């Protein structure tokens, strides 16, 4: 899959979203729902496909949480590529603005990645971490030892996501509540929204709500 650029490339706010083939399949619906909340001329939307879902988005390696699929430690390299290759290429093609504000969004492991990026660098002013995989082993310890650097961070979770049998994944509700509390204490503009359903429902609607919330923030 190739990168996709929609919207006003002259806008001062750009949304960067990493995703997989499913995210691509529902991307048009997501984009249309964002436009219903935020005029298209006010922002630009860039979709960047992820090559290895279980390695490119995770900050440290962990053994399988379900099945036989382990997780890699490719997040740092993915962030480096974003900052040193992907975004410079976009700026070369569409023009660079000194006051441009970048927002990073993602769903599931891409939501985990977006939140991790918001803790690692202040390059992205806003973060939409939608149904983020905060059950990820080691995240709680990481969260407690890092200060958020983004100015606005949106979190959401399906109401049924913590009601699963997997002993690791069922922790996601408690961890996302702790994460939201940390953001509030740090003075970050933040929201935690609970959606109907499980992890696999309405990803495009949830992403659209999260991105629209960030775009509405004046704190950026």
Packed helices 203-216 and 27-35: angle between N→C axes, nearest 10 degrees: 40
pLDDT in tens, 122-148: 999 999 999 999 999 999 999 999 999
Number of domain units in the chain: 1
Q: What is the rounded distance in angstroms from the CA atom of residue 209 to the CA atom of residue 131?
A: 12
What CATH number is given to the structural domain containing 19?
A: 3.40.50.1820
Binned at pLDDT 50, 70 and 90, residue 219 comes out as confident
Q: Which domain holds residue 133?
A: 4-216
Binned at pLDDT 50, 70 and 90, residue 1 comes out as confident
pLDDT in tens, 58-105: 999 999 999 999 999 999 999 999 999 999 999 999 999 989 999 999
Q: What is the rounded distance in angstroms from the CA atom of residue 35 to the CA atom of residue 27?
A: 12
Q: Cα separations (Å) of 132 from 3, 90, 91, 176, 191?
A: 22, 26, 28, 8, 14
**pTM summary value:** 0.97
């Amino acid at each position: 899959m190739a990168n996709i650029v929609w919207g006003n490339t002259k806008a001062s706010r750009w949304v960067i979203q990493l995703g997989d083939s499913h995210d691509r399949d529902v991307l048009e619906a997501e984009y249309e729902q964002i436009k219903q909340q935020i005029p298209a001329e006010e922002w630009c939307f860039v979709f960047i496909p992820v090559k290895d879902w279980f390695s490119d988005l995770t900050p440290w390696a962990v053994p399988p949480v379900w099945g036989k699929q382990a997780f890699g430690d490719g997040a740092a390299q993915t962030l480096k590529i974003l900052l040193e290759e992907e975004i410079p290429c976009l700026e070369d093609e569409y023009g660079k603005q000194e006051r441009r504000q970048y927002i990073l969004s993602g769903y599931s492991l891409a939501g985990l990645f977006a939140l991790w990026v918001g803790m690692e660098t202040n390059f992205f002013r806003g973060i939409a971490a939608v149904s983020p995989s905060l059950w990820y082993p080691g995240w709680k310890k990481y969260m407690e030892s890092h200060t958020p650097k983004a100015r606005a961070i949106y979190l959401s979770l399906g109401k049924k996501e913590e009601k699963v049998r997997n002993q690791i994944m069922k922790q996601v509700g408690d961890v996302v509540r702790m994460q939201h509390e940390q953001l509030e204490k740090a003075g970050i503009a933040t929201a935690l929204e609970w959606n109907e359903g499980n992890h696999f429902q309405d990803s495009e609607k949830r992403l659209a709500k999260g991105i629209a919330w960030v775009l509405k923030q004046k704190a950026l």
